[in-house]
Every structure is written in C-alpha cells, then in structure tokens.
C-alpha cells in the first residue's frame, strides 16, 4: 500500500508564527503587545514559550541583545505597529553594529490600509532597512513559514545580525496550510565560512618573518567560539594580544601576553603594539575608529592581516595586505595546522612587558572619596572575577573594561558600536535570563540608568537576582570629561542637577536599596549584597570629577595618548 504524504494542517498566520518559533527551538520571547499584534498574542497565550514583558519596547530589544550575547542564541522580539516598531529602532541599530542575532516581529496595519496613514502605521521597512541585516513585510500568509525560516537562518549565520519581519494584522488572521519543512534556498546569501588556504599560508609566512607581531582580537573570536583556538595559537607562537572592547574575554586577562584593551581608552602597551608592530593580525574586529585612532598613524609600518566573516569589512577602514574571509574559528584551526612555532620576537615581547610594567592603568587612591576605579576592582574581588558584567555607556563602561579582569568569554555585555545609553539594565535582565544560575552585575551610570530604570519591575516579576551597582557621579560623566578637556570646562547640560533617590526607587519596586559613599561602606554592602539571593540596587556615590585615563584625543594617533601617568 502506497503511503501518501499528510496534507499540511491549516493555521492562521499568528498560529503559524508560534508554531515556527517552537520549531526553531525558541526558549524565550521578549515583547510588548498592542493592537496590530493582538492575534499573535492570542496565539501565544498558553503556547508554552515563556514571554518577558518589559515596560518599554526598547527594554525588550536590549534584553534580547543581552540574552543573545551570553547564550549565542537568537533573541526574539515582538512589538506592535507604529510606535511599538519605532521604539525598537535603537536596539536594532545597536544589534546591527555589534553583530547580534535577533529575529524581530513587528505588527503592521491591515494590508488594505497600508499607505493611507492609518492609525499606528509606520513605514517599518523603510525605517529599519539601514539598521537590519535583512527585513521583510509579509502580505501573503502562504509566504510566512518560508520567511520566518529564512529570517532565523540569516540572523545567526555568517556575520550575525538582526532580521525584522513586518506582518500586517490581517495576515496574522488569515488561515492557510502550514508546512515548515521547506529546504533553505537562498542563492544570493552564501556566507564564506572556510578561509582560502593560500591566504592562510600567506599569513603563516608573514608570521614566520615577523619580529614585532601583534594580534588584535575582536568580538568575532567570541561569536565563533574561537577562544580555545586563540589561546592555543598564542601559547604556541607567543604573539601578544590586544583586545577590542567587545573582544574582552577572548584571551584570559591573566595571560602574560594579554596587553589589555586597545584604542581611545586602551593601555599604553596595547596601543604601542599596534602603532609599532610590523605585523598586525586582526581577527574578528572591524577596525573601528575608537580602536584605530587617526588612521593616518595606524599601523603605518605593518603588514596588515584582516580575518573577518564579512568581506565588506575588509579594507573598509584600514588597507589590508592579506585579507582572509571566513569564520574566525576555522581560520584559527587552519593557522594551527600550519605548525607555527614561537615567533622570533623576544625583544618585542620584552619591550611590551616593560611597557605594561612602566605604564599600568592607574588612579589616585583616596580614603576620603569612593573612587570609581576602586569600586570596579571591588566588584571584581567580591565576584572573584566570575560575574557576567553588563554595563551601560560612558565612563563606568570604560572603567569596567579597564579594571575588571575578564578571564572568560561572554562575561562582558556592553554596547560597543552604537554606544547606547539605557542599554545596561535591560541587557542585564536578558543576560540573567540566559544565565539563570550565574551572577549578573549591572554596572550603570546614573544618567543611563534613568533612561530605562522602569525595567526594574522585571527583576521582581521574573525573580531575577541582578545586582544593580550605580556608579553615581551626578553627571553625564564622559560628556563632562570631554567638556573639561576639550571645551574649556564649559559644562553645557552635562551636570544632572536633580536625580531620583535610587534607594527609594528600588524600594518602590520592592527591591532592597542601599547607598554607599565611602570605600569601607562599599566593601561592607557589596560584600554582603552581591552574595545574597535576589536583586539589589546599590547607589555608589563616587568621586564626581574623576576622568578616564589614559586617553587618545580625537584626531590623534594611538601613540599620542594623554594621561598615561598620574
């Protein structure tokens, strides 16, 4: 008897979406309901996939970013049409810049009124095209399964990024046969994962003759889970490593060849290495201007190798001598297969070691004030350097990068490319949801905290033990620093005249709140509360006029740092 294939069952567009999310093994949805997505939310009701309800759509997408960052899984976000969708734009841009895999579902007005300025209509495709890896608007329910499948494939393959699916309300209500077994066919999208062997051999040859090599390790190392290969490669070749902000954790901070972070607030050793090297091997970084400083001076005498999965990044900012397109892990494996040995760079390593010793990161300690750098060191001490540290953007972010020793990958969650204030708290919520048993510390400035502080409610709703440490200097610290250094001390709108009582704010949400003003108080409270179960908010009143040093002023080269010594 010949078996016949069962007919696909008929589902509404909203039911198709939920079924597809299940088949994509989605474990968590971040979203905010509204009129255009009500059929979707009705289908989600008791569907079995947990849903996280923030207090603002921006909170939803930053939480999804934090979740994606620590888990490597695709974050899923749902928002309604119009303002719901436009409130996601900052997060989309943030995820695009930092290569985070997201699938974002937005509701849309019915197909019959698109283009009529209907209530809560916005041209989501046009608005989000520059800030998404790809976007779709589905006007035929029969196309919905294929589009969802493609969206997940595109989001988490090649260079990860956000993909948006805009679904008109009537499409979610229309029924059609549902078949999710269609094979993936995207002829125009074929990311190159395996590097060219000849190019790898050119890299190996350059390493063999180099006397001053340095590796610039970026987030591509972490995305590709190539940190074990990087460690083995560094141990074998003894090439020093400078990290980008987002690459921290790729090589343990305690490794003798770890030079620290490079760039505007990088270490003297890391920046000098990039300036004076004869061979720069960039793996998984995009030569961001915050890393390179003035390009006229960057790696002028060096052979430049750039390993990147996105060919569009190679040669975009820095001329590249040996381009290597491919996955960082595969590139490292192929380099390891070249049987390279210790590089002929003894004097170079000694020179950089001396720079590390002569020009360490510094601050002037004080018993009278709570120094923010010392506070970061205390957080590291209390958490034994094992926490997932999530920051907002500004001075505290740079101090965290400088003074918290990241020994493992995926322990530092921060907004790198876009520099989004308000990112920290919701991203910490997502990080804790992705790492339920780990310690998550949200290091927030008082300015950024006030942008999304309403998301404190989620710590209670979902019993998330996030430890919120507010580095409170009563100002927009990095803005104030630039105004002090480059605008004659004219603090135009950077000093926060009035701020909320963060202790009472925490208590209003049902969260314990504490305030500390001295290091001794900080040691007592952080030592106790960071070990406790449940969330906490600790308002740390730090030295208000402290600046982040060293610093490469805008327009200067990496060799023109200021503030390298007290």
Residues acting as catalytic residues: 57, 119-120, 169, 478
**Cα 287 to Cα 303: distance, rounded to the nearest angstrom:** 15
Token reading at 470: 């507010």
Evaluate whether 56 touches 34 at the Cβ level (below 8 Å).
no
Which H or E run contains 552? none
**Cα 75 to Cα 51: distance, rounded to the nearest angstrom:** 12
**Cα 443 to Cα 427: distance, rounded to the nearest angstrom:** 11
Beta bridge partners, 103, equal: 76, 163
**Exposure class string for 373-404: b at 16+ Cβ within 10 A, else e:** bbbbbbbbebbebebbbbbbbbbbbbbbbbbb
Neighbouring C-alpha atoms within 13 Å toward the C-beta of 121: 13
**Cα 274 to Cα 231: distance, rounded to the nearest angstrom:** 19
The total number of residues written for the chain in this structure: 566
CA 424 to each of CA 52, 311, 475, 486: distance values in angstroms, whole numbers, following the listed order: 17, 31, 17, 27
Taking only Cα atoms into account, the Rg of the chain, rounded to an integer number of angstroms, comes to: 25
Evaluate whether 262 touches 558 at the Cβ level (below 8 Å).
yes
Evaluate whether 378 touches 526 at the Cβ level (below 8 Å).
yes
DSSP notation for 418-463: S--TT-HHHHHHHHHHHSTTS-EEEEEEHHHHHHHGGGHHHHHHTT
Evaluate whether 449 touches 84 at the Cβ level (below 8 Å).
no
Q: How buried is 436 (Cβ within 10 angstroms: 0-12 exposed, 13-18 middle, 19+ buried)?
A: exposed
Q: What pairing do the DSSP bridges indicate for beta strands 279-283 and 303-308?
A: parallel
Closest by Cα among 444, 430, 469, 454 to 508: 454
| Distance, C-alpha 550 to centroid of its chain | 23
**Cα 451 to Cα 453: distance, rounded to the nearest angstrom:** 6
């Amino acid at each position: 008897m010949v078996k016949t294939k069962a007919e696909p069952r008929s589902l509404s567009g909203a039911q198709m979406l939920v079924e597809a999310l299940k088949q994509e093994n989605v474990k968590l949805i971040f979203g905010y309901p509204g009129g255009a997505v009500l059929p979707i939310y009705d289908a989600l009701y008791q569907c079995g996939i947990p849903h996280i309800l923030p207090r603002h759509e921006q909170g939803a997408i930053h939480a999804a970013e934090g979740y994606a960052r620590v888990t490597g899984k695709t974050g899923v976000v749902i928002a309604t049409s119009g303002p719901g969708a436009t409130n996601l734009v900052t997060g989309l841009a943030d995820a695009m810049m930092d290569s985070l895999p997201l699938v974002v579902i937005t509701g849309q007005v019915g197909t019959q009124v698109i283009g009529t300025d209907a209530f809560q209509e916005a041209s989501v495709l046009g608005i989000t095209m520059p800030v998404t890896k790809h976007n779709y608007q589905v006007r035929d329910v029969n196309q919905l399964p294929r589009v969802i499948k493609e969206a997940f494939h595109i989001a988490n393959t090649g260079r990860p990024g956000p993909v948006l699916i805009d679904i008109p309300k009537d499409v979610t209500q229309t029924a059609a046969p549902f078949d999710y077994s269609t094979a993936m066919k995207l002829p125009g999208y074929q990311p190159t994962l395996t590097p060219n062997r000849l190019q790898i051999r050119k890299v190996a040859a350059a390493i063999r003759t180099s006397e001053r090599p340095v590796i610039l390790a970026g987030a591509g190392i972490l995305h590709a889970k190539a940190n074990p290969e990087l460690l083995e490669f560094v141990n074998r070749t003894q090439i020093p490593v400078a990290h980008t902000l987002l690459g921290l954790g790729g090589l343990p901070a305690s490794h003798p060849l770890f030079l620290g972070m490079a760039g505007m607030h990088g270490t003297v050793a890391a920046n000098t290495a990039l300036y004076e090297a004869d061979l720069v091997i960039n793996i998984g970084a995009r030569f961001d201007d915050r890393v390179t400083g003035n390009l006229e001076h960057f790696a002028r005498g060096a052979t430049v190798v750039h390993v990147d999965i996105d060919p569009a990044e190679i040669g975009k900012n820095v001329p590249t001598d040996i381009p290597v397109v491919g996955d960082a892990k595969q590139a490292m494996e192929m380099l390891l297969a070249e049987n390279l040995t210790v590089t002929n760079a003894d004097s170079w390593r000694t020179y950089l070691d001396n720079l590390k010793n002569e020009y360490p990161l510094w601050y002037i300690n004080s018993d009278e004030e709570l120094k923010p750098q010392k506070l970061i060191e205390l957080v590291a001490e209390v958490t034994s350097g094992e926490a997932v540290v999530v920051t907002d953007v500004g001075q505290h972010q740079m101090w965290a990068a400088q003074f918290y020793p990241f020994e493992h990958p995926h322990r530092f969650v921060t907004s790198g490319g876009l520099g989004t204030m308000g990112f920290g708290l919701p991203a910490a919520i997502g990080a804790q949801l992705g790492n339920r048993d780990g310690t998550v510390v949200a290091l927030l400035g008082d300015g950024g905290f006030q942008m999304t502080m309403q998301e404190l409610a989620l710590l209670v709703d979902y019993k998330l033990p996030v430890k919120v440490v507010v580095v409170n200097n009563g100002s927009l610290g990095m803005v104030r620093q630039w105004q002090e250094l480059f605008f004659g001390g004219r603090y135009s709108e950077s000093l926060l005249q009035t701020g909320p009582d963060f202790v009472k704010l925490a208590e209003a949400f049902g969260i314990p709140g504490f305030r500390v003003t001295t290091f001794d108080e900080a040691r007592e409270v952080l030592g106790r509360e960071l070990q406790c179960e449940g969330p906490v908010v600790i308002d740390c009143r730090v030295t208000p006029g402290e600046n982040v040093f060293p610093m490469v002023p805008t327009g200067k080269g990496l060799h023109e740092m200021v503030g390298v010594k007290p």
